[in-house]
Structure 1
């Protein structure tokens, strides 16, 4: 019996566990070890620091990687994996390879640039320099390992492991992964959802997948909510309301957006609205070199996407301006009146969007529209939660701009669509693992699935949890090492968020004092609190 158990594969959850970033799953069999995804952590500083730490496995021991899609929270640590010793193949779709060829070097460039800026500040503060997670040469070395797979084509990815891709409907080239693992009797079948797209997505077909698997690993980003059932025309009409409101305010419309697909969808709808005269014609700046290169890739893969002709027209619109250099980016904020800026990152935690927010959040005539999910601890979530002041790149900025969320461009299925996707995979013989969701999403989807899957077979693993996949169900594996991050620190505001808010509150309290004597009294109280911190 113990020998039979030794042959059962082990599934480990190294990311996207009670959070929505850092997607990474490990499958270990007696003959092979593979990863499904190897993504970057985003959100609070505590979570982002995981990107700098050691992997919870030896990279050189991994035989292969299967990549579901190009988004950085699924692909962004692949160059680090290669830098630290991985040399096997990275299997993914051809479109994902093309997107990664611009996204991973861009991620490396952003790290190099932001670390250089941080090290200048650290030098002034007498702090030691830090190193980027990886640099552009690591991204280039990583790209040499990519191998293209077609949808529906079975491929042996490692000894005793076969995989085939199904269109996930989430992003150009996105895939759900069906995995077969050799056993002494019948193969074990595992389905990884990847990120499941919603129905009626502008540029993608509806998600697909097989029926009848042993285990299902399903995302739950929007597992607790149902979006309104709107047509593309209705979504465009609602976008038009926001655009007209921004134009009437007489200031810019700033849209933090993922550079790949979300930006292209927005460009199509803005183009159609302006062409129809439903919103004022104005310059639309795509301030993201990555989005510029990604748009060219979308054109190359036009036969794989819907609305390809309209996308081509939008990309040639006379209102559209792509910016490349930092100088061009800064020049945008010298403009007055109404214009549109689309810039990454989508959660406002990196890239040029922070420059635009710093330049415009304090303006009453500015509008900021969040076009996607904002992870807990990210600047985007903090703004949506109503912060009156924020700190950006070490500077305090008052928030007077109008902040709104427009979630109808989401690349993720909502709760009803996720339940329908799981139902179409039945029978699920052994169990469902819910991942890639915060507490509300996980709990909401778990409740909704109880009519389809027995409650004791719906699991919500934590970071670094491991399970032996036996013929009779999953069995938890005792952890040999402490968790890299305690569960209560995932998808939560952390000490860095608290410190930023404290500094803002102190400045506000000092500024609100009536005179110099009152300001001195506030400072004395703060000093006494610090001196008595151990009391």
Structure 2
């Protein structure tokens, strides 16, 4: 019988990892094939760091294949570590995911190198043992060479007689629902993994595909306890925050989720600009990675929602300046530092999305103690992150060695989420026929319990697995 073991993203949103073991024949004798579904980075605090540092052990060399749903680091950010520890087999993903991984994993390796360099300077001074990064650029390069890109709807044969098909998840560029047909006990069992299910209200992405046949479904539950506000109300609130910031003479800080969210925010700023409602005359995209991703979205615009692109007449052109002329892309450190001389009237979109590092924390240092500043949170903030502290109303925060008083007005605008809300998750789950087994992953406990109860009211029974749980397919 084939089995699935939950190795990550259980009881938490990040760190996606599921091990599938398939009994089959190889070289004339019975053997077990091992397929790793996702290889994600844990995000948020010391426990996450410890989980990321834990070695894969023998698994790295035992695996026959890896399957990745999309390019966000919490789903794919440990791939180079897996390769560093000995994995050399195929990594299956969509073309969009492959292109995003090149940007995101290289950026992650660069940040780790800088962090380790600073940490080891302190350790040398204090006679402490030196540390190493999770992986380096050479590991990323080896990882990218292992990637095998597949189109949506194209069946692919994996080791052990498993068949893989990707479907459009509507979350970010290249994001996929994962369908796996797995031999088990003389039958073929169909496993469906939602990955991150997209929000149909979001712009740029197509709606998530609905599937109808499965024996077992792994479904994300990030926003399982609530629905997002209607997009119209969200945009009106966003516009009002920008208007108030302009009236108060302050800057607007938006922590940038480089993939998906940043491009959506730029789109809406473009709409406001052409409506004559964007009073700010300076919009900075202060994230080298987000700039690269934005340029990738433009190159891959044929895969985006054509109706959304028509709104700004950008279907035929990849030139961002056509729809947001006040946008300035700051690639260098010097350009980023120069923004701190601007004391009002600017919108600053900077990484990282959960405020765990990057350029946004430097802008905090110069802006967060001003009551005229608006901090706009447009994405999920994991427990243990600086972003979560700010959302939860922290009055003081520690930033770059400085104890700062939070005087900025913090606005959480959840309607921009690229994740499905509770009703959308229930609707997607309800399309399956014949009552497959549901397991809720990628959610904090309260969200999962709320979604489990809501699903139960519609006749869908779901379970909440724990780390290390192993089930028979």
Q: Which bin holds the TM-score, normalised by the shorter protein?
A: over 0.9
Retained in 1: the 8 A contact 2:250–2:345? yes
Hey, what does 1:203 align to over in structure 2? 204
Hey, what does 1:131 align to over in structure 2? 132
> 1:448 aligned to 443, 447, 454, which one?
454
Retained in 1: the 8 A contact 2:56–2:85? no
**1:14 is paired with a residue of what secondary structure?**
strand
Retained in 2: the 8 A contact 1:212–1:428? no
Retained in 2: the 8 A contact 1:372–1:409? yes
Hey, what does 1:439 align to over in structure 2? 445
Hey, what does 2:377 align to over in structure 1? 370
Retained in 2: the 8 A contact 1:263–1:291? yes
For 1:220-369, what aligned pairs fall within 5 Å after superposition?
220-231=221-232, 234-306=233-305, 307-308=308-309, 310=312, 312=318, 314-316=320-322, 317-369=324-376
Could you give the per-residue CA deviations for residues 283-322 of structure 1, whole angstroms, max 9, x where no partner exists?
A: 1111111111111111111111023353646444331111
Q: 1:315 and 1:384 mapped to 2: Cα distance?
A: 32
**2:8 is paired with a residue of what secondary structure?**
coil
Hey, what does 1:486 align to over in structure 2? none
1:461 partnered with 2:465 = yes
Deviation at 1:167, TM superposition (A): 0.6
**1:450 is paired with a residue of what secondary structure?**
helix
| TM-score, length of structure 1 as denominator length | 0.83
Retained in 2: the 8 A contact 1:167–1:209? no
Could you give the per-residue CA deviations for residues 19-74 of structure 1, whole angstroms, max 9, x where no partner exists?
A: 00011111011231111110110012112221111126621111111110001111
Deviation at 1:462, TM superposition (A): 1.7
Hey, what does 1:189 align to over in structure 2? 190
Retained in 2: the 8 A contact 1:198–1:413? yes
1:408 partnered with 2:390 = no
Alignment CA distance shift 1:308-1:101 (3 Å): farther
**Greater mean alpha carbon deviation, residues 27-36 or residues 63-72:** 27-36
Deviation at 1:403, TM superposition (A): 1.1
| TM-score, length of structure 2 as denominator length | 0.93
Retained in 2: the 8 A contact 1:216–1:428? no
**Greater mean alpha carbon deviation, residues 125-134 or residues 400-409:** 125-134
Hey, what does 1:94 align to over in structure 2? 95
Deviation at 1:452, TM superposition (A): 4.1
Unaligned 5+ runs, structure 1 = 1-7, 470-535
**2:263 is paired with a residue of what secondary structure?**
helix
Q: 1:454 and 1:144 mapped to 2: Cα distance?
A: 41
Q: 1:374 and 1:209 mapped to 2: Cα distance?
A: 28
Q: 1:216 and 1:335 mapped to 2: Cα distance?
A: 50
**2:12 is paired with a residue of what secondary structure?**
coil
Aligned length: 457
Alignment CA distance shift 1:376-1:434 (3 Å): same
Q: 2:101 and 2:300 mapped to 1: Cα distance?
A: 14
Q: 1:229 and 1:279 mapped to 2: Cα distance?
A: 21
**2:163 is paired with a residue of what secondary structure?**
strand
Could you give the per-residue CA deviations for residues 479-533 of structure 1, whole angstroms, max 9, x where no partner exists?
A: xxxxxxxxxxxxxxxxxxxxxxxxxxxxxxxxxxxxxxxxxxxxxxxxxxxxxxx
1:151 partnered with 2:152 = yes
**Greater mean alpha carbon deviation, residues 440-449 or residues 53-62:** 53-62
1:40 partnered with 2:41 = yes
Alignment CA distance shift 1:420-1:328 (3 Å): same
**2:383 is paired with a residue of what secondary structure?**
coil
Deviation at 1:12, TM superposition (A): 1.1
1:22 partnered with 2:23 = no
1:142 partnered with 2:135 = no
Retained in 2: the 8 A contact 1:191–1:215? yes
> 2:403 aligned to 396, 400, 411, which one?
396
Unaligned 5+ runs, structure 2 = 24-31
Q: 2:337 and 2:325 mapped to 1: Cα distance?
A: 21
1:82 partnered with 2:49 = no
Could you give the per-residue CA deviations for residues 85-131 of structure 1, whole angstroms, max 9, x where no partner exists?
A: 11111111111111111111011111111221222233344433221
